[in-house]
Amino acid sequence: MKIDGKEFEVDGDGFLSDPYIWNEEVAVLFAKYDGIEELNEKHWAIIKFIRKNWEETGMAPMIRSICKDTGLKLREIYQLFPLGPARGACRVAGLPKPDGCV
């Protein structure tokens, strides 16, 4: 997958093949690909919490934990990441694609 001239190795759904090569620049470019032109403070709070949770537990956090940690309302999170917490936020945070109906 190519964004702004940079090449990324991703799975069929556009999730990073190697989550460990993730950095903030990747987040900015992946978000841009989804139509999010600029990541604001709230975006970053969500991304950083998801990333931290994954690094510590190997799992994407529950939406409840994301709301609790960031202090954001549920509906705000869906507005910030129109593709939702999984295909939107987790992908931008460099996680592998979660299993299930997402």
Active-site residue identified among 56, 66, 101, 102: 101
Contacting another protein (CB under 8 A), which of 32, 34, 45, 72?
A: 34
Among 3, 63, 72, 76, binds another protein (CB under 8 A): 63
90 CB neighbour count, 10 Å cutoff: 26
Q: What's 10's DSSP letter?
A: B
Residues in Cβ contact with 29 at an 8 Å cutoff, skipping those fewer than 6 apart: 3, 4, 6, 8
Question: Catalytic residue numbers?
Answer: 101
| Residues at the contact surface with another protein, assessed by CB under 8 A | 11-15, 34-35, 59-60, 62-65, 67-68, 74, 82-87, 97-102
